[in-house]
Structure 1
Amino acid sequence: MKVAETVETKPWTADATQVIQFPAGLLGFENLKQYVLMGSAEEAPFFWLQVVDEPNLAFVVVPPSAVVENYTPELSDEDVDFLGLSSPEDALVLNIVTVRGPTRATVNLKGPLVINRRTLIGKQVIPLNAAEFAVNHPLAVGE
């Protein structure tokens, strides 16, 4: 299944009361399973993916449409089943931003976070077409 943000895709509203479960954790943080997505209009298009059990740990994430055009990671059948996705519209796709200094940041397009909007189950996936994407896609400061 290819997942992408489309005009028909419902926008996501950050809500700190909605706990997103990542049963496998994130790469390098496999023991951390519960997150909330937080953000504000002033920080758009960026969100904070806050770890529930570690209040001092959060990841900056961004919808791929804010970074690149035509980003359509292709999920394996195993990932689709794991997430319980019935259609591409059920998926919220986010990418982790890495701040590399005061004037440099990158976005991981190779390992997107895919969240089922209905069940709030998420997984960091390696898409079948991962070779098309960069793990350190440059993000211009001020974007």
Structure 2
Amino acid sequence: MKINTKYLGEVEIEKEKIINFKKGLLGFETLKEYVILNIPNNEAFQCLQSIKDPKVVFIITNPFLFFKDYDIKIDDEELKKIKITNNKELLLYSIVTIPKDIKKMTANLLAPIVINIDKRIAKQIVLENTNYKTKHFIYNETKEVNKNVSTK
């Protein structure tokens, strides 16, 4: 099927790649279906694109690329809601905010996106009892990124 996207124009996606957020994302509760799209020439970031509204897209990243010590505990009840029974089914992303001054780019480590890759269902989970916040600067951490990751 074809969808319109904010950054990549019209793209062809496989229906099997659609990820369902039963409750949507925080602030976007009415939009429940998204797809992850690769950004050309950039292995560190991807687009989480709404398939219903081309204007709604989030830049996401694997938080472990930038924050090696990112250590979280997700409540078992939250994992059950998206039918995760083992870590092999789980993908974890952080939403990234990119302001005009790219050196002030931040990742939301407080509310990661957790995806059951086998069942294509997901949830944004707000962590409890943690020191993580919605804005952690990425720029200071980029020198720690694996040298094989291209962000050009």
TM-score (norm 2): 0.77
Contact 2:35–2:50 (Cα < 8 Å) also in 1: yes
Tell me the equivalent position of 1:34. Answer: 33
Residue segments in structure 2 that go unaligned for 5+ positions in a row? 1-11, 143-152
Cα distance in 2 for partners of 1:82, 1:72 equals 21
Tell me the equivalent position of 1:73. Answer: 72
Q: Which moved more, 1:66-75 or 1:92-101?
A: 66-75
Q: Which amino acid aligns with 1:60?
A: I
C-alpha deviations, 1:52-81, integer Å up to 9, x for none? 000122100000111101323211122111
When the two chains are superposed, the root-mean-square deviation of aligned CA atoms in Å is: 2.0
Q: Which moved more, 1:105-114 or 1:79-88?
A: 79-88
Cα distance in 2 for partners of 1:112, 1:57 equals 18
Tell me the equivalent position of 1:3. Answer: none
Q: Which amino acid aligns with 2:81?
A: F
Q: How far does residue 40 in structure 1 lie from its aligned partner after superposition?
A: 4.0
TM-score (norm 1): 0.82
Cα distance in 2 for partners of 1:125, 1:40 equals 25
Residue segments in structure 1 that go unaligned for 5+ positions in a row? 1-14
- Greater strand fraction, Structure 1 or Structure 2: 2
Q: How far does residue 99 in structure 1 lie from its aligned partner after superposition?
A: 1.3
Secondary structure of 1:44's counterpart equals: strand
Cα distance in 2 for partners of 1:74, 1:127 equals 8
Q: Which amino acid aligns with 2:126?
A: I
C-alpha deviations, 1:6-40, integer Å up to 9, x for none? xxxxxxxxx93200000010000011100000004
Q: How many residues align?
A: 128
Secondary structure of 1:96's counterpart equals: strand
Bigger-Rg structure (1/2): 2
Which of 13, 24, 38 is 1:16 aligned to? 13
Contact 2:18–2:120 (Cα < 8 Å) also in 1: yes
Matches for 1:108-127 after TM superposition, within 5 Å: 108-127=108-127
Tell me the equivalent position of 2:46. Answer: 47
Percent identity at matched positions?
Answer: 29
